[in-house]
Amino acid sequence: MTTRIIKNFIKTILVYLVLSIFFIFPVKAEGEFLVDTSVEYKVQNNGITQVTHSITLENVLSNIYATSYKLRLENINADNIKAYDNKGLLDSQTEIEADRITIKVNFDDAVVGKGQKRYFNISYNVSSFAQKTGEVWEISVPRLSDENSYKNYSVTLLIPDGFKSEAYMSPQPNYSGHVEGYKTFTFSKESVSKTGIAAGFGDFQVFSFNLIYHLENPLSKNVFVDIAVPPDTSLQRVFYEVFSPEPHNVTVDEDGNWIATFLLKSRERKDVTVKGTVQIFSDPMKYPRPTDSTLDKNMMPTQYWQSDNPKIKELALIYNTPRKIYDYVSTFLKYNYEKVKPNVVRMGALGALEEPDNAICMEFTDLFIAMARAAGIPAREINGFAYTENKEIQPLSLVADVLHSWPEYWDKEKGDWIPIDPTWASTTGGVDFFNKLDLRHFTFVIHGIDDVKPYPPGSYKLGSNPQKDVFVNFGTLPENRNAKISLSYKKDKYIPFANQNISVFVKNEGVQSEYNVIINTISDDNPNEDINIGTIPPFAQREFNVKIPFSFLATNTPKNVIVVYKDHKIVIPTSKSEVIILNLLIILIIFVIITFLLLVRLGKIKV
């Protein structure tokens, strides 16, 4: 009897050690147990995630069975931990060491025999998997650290309907559905073993911004100085609340940049403050399409996008689609965190090829653009702000105006520019920033025709110790989000016998840009040709001229010109009365002259 007790005790200890080794060093215990795990991440409306591991242990051998099981959590702050099966709670202990939690589950009965299975669950709550950043709930599910430990492994993510629609998700789920107030997404072992799951839920994100530009005119005459301010794109809408001082005008260049112009007097220095909010959307909106000429220019080689270089052209023959180029760039280049600092030297596409381990976002972007252009795909650079929790990058963006850059390529079928981020794909270990970008990228300037200009906010500095000029935070939409178009005019001084010119001014006094602005002009009751103004950003003004013809007895001269845009209308009186009076006066003078000459000829008047 004593011998049997000792043998059973030794057997129990042996099995415990084997299983412990299996979960700490799973390669050494391979083949003794088969583990199937299904993990459910059920996110609550308050952001707390209820995690449940449904585990099946299957004996491979007839003489070894499990007496305990260990689950290790890395960098996860879990609470309300419990283990249970269909009979009730199981005995469990939790060990906490640094950033690691080890949950040990003890089994008080034996499941013996080859092919026999034990079913049980481990559950806990985590508050850090779901975080609300601005207007978006962002979900992060950790990756499976050792896929070889499991025969089968799957993840189901449950998102409450209150989190609105999916903005982005990486990787794409194998299945999606809906169950009792929750959106469900299921992922395979292959999906979560590489990067885990990153997802965002919300229709849009909102950032507030405060930008400062330091301008100087060193000349002895007045000059106009241009600055680039954040523009609208198909994925973002900008609302300008403060522009101090107001610009002389705001224009839109060929790439879609908004260029604000200021008049600086001789030797004048001027600080410009621009404040507002930006609404970043998960799906593109209607936005003016670039011309074919612009798209052609976005395929040309430049100083940093050497798309005509033989090395790049050779690569473009192999990697000839945006996806292939993205995958190549994001895996070939390696991010050098030590290089992230102000005034870093830009290497360009060729430099990135020559030093692939010395890249930052500029090199990832430059190489993608050069290869895309060499493959006949229009591509361009976006320079702006990208929110990240990456501690190796984040502090610099908070204390210095070091911005982020990422590429866009033109999708002919969608008829839109598609933003991607091969840099973040590399630094996150392969999270998908190709199929859908997150809501954390805020465009400041667009570089397409030129690979350097216009300069982004944060570049307009004076002095040897420049201060920080770019401030971006999560924000809320302003109550007033409308464009406000005003119409005004100025008439040239009336000149007899000449056509009259009227200058009509169309100004946007609202906080949002107005698109497809078409002005109707009516001469009395006769419509004239419509005036297509196009896009008018906030604080921008457009001007066009209306010609009022001089005609005999004002027969072709309108009494009024009516200028209309939507519900805005101004009535501009012309000089028709003056034209009629002038015509009558001329007729009277001619009549007097003719009468006088007749009277002279008849001898009634002697000269």
- Positive or negative, the CA dihedral 155, 156, 162, 167 is positive
The DSSP string of 382-394 is EEEEE----TTTH
Measuring CA to CA, which residue among 421, 456, 416 is closest to residue 295? 416
Residue 296 pLDDT: 97
- Positive or negative, the CA dihedral 456, 460, 464, 468 is negative
Residues 464 and 484: their CA atoms lie apart, in Å, by: 41
Residue 575: strand, helix, or coil: coil
Helix (H) or strand (E) holding 541: strand 541-548
Residue 366 pLDDT: 98
User: 369 with 349: CB under 8 angstroms?
Assistant: yes
Neighbours of 351 (CB within 10 A): 19
**C-alpha distances in angstroms, 431 versus 90, 171, 327?**
37, 7, 11
Residues 305 and 137: their CA atoms lie apart, in Å, by: 37
User: 469 with 460: CB under 8 angstroms?
Assistant: yes
Residues 461 and 466: their CA atoms lie apart, in Å, by: 6
The DSSP string of 293-339 is HHHHHTTS--SS--TTSHHHHHHHHHS-SHHHHHHHHHHHS-B-GGG
Residue 158 in tokens: 């449950």
Based on the number of CB atoms within 10 Å of its own CB, is 155 exposed (0-12), middle (13-18) or buried (19 or more)?
Answer: buried
Neighbours of 75 (CB within 10 A): 10
User: φ, ψ for residue 20 (rounded to 5)?
Assistant: -65, -45
Task: Mention every residue, 6+ apart, whose C-beta is less than 8 A from residue 454.
Answer: 226, 227, 228, 253, 257, 259, 445
Query: Would you give the DSSP letter of residue 494?
Result: P
Residues 439 and 44: their CA atoms lie apart, in Å, by: 22
Q: Helix, strand, coil shares of the chain as percentages rounded to 5?
A: 20, 40, 40
Residue 291 pLDDT: 94
Residues 154 and 151: their CA atoms lie apart, in Å, by: 10
Which residue type occupies 487? L
Measuring CA to CA, which residue among 438, 430, 434 is closest to residue 195? 430
**Cβ-defined contacts of 352-355 (< 8 Å, 24+):** 353/311, 353/312
Residue 592 in tokens: 């007097």
Query: Would you give the DSSP letter of residue 552?
Result: G
Based on the number of CB atoms within 10 Å of its own CB, is 115 exposed (0-12), middle (13-18) or buried (19 or more)?
Answer: exposed
User: 461 with 484: CB under 8 angstroms?
Assistant: no
Which residue is it, tokens 């760039």? 329
CA atoms within 13 A on the CB side of 126: 22
Residue 449 in tokens: 């025709």
User: φ, ψ for residue 416 (rounded to 5)?
Assistant: -155, 160
**C-alpha distances in angstroms, 201 versus 122, 267, 287, 533?**
27, 51, 24, 37
Residues 362, 363, 366, 372, Cα dihedral to 10°: -130
Residue 537 pLDDT: 96
Residue 388 pLDDT: 75
**C-alpha distances in angstroms, 134 versus 31, 131, 201, 400, 441?**
48, 9, 11, 22, 13
Helix (H) or strand (E) holding 472: strand 470-474
Residues 210 and 274: their CA atoms lie apart, in Å, by: 6
Q: To 5 degrees, how large is the angle CA 76–CA 81–CA 85?
A: 125
User: 513 with 535: CB under 8 angstroms?
Assistant: yes
Residues 427 and 405: their CA atoms lie apart, in Å, by: 14
Residue 38 pLDDT: 95
Measuring CA to CA, which residue among 247, 245, 204 is closest to residue 476? 204
Q: Which residues of the chain have pLDDT under 70?
A: 1-31, 389-400, 464-465, 554, 576, 579, 607
User: φ, ψ for residue 406 (rounded to 5)?
Assistant: -150, 155
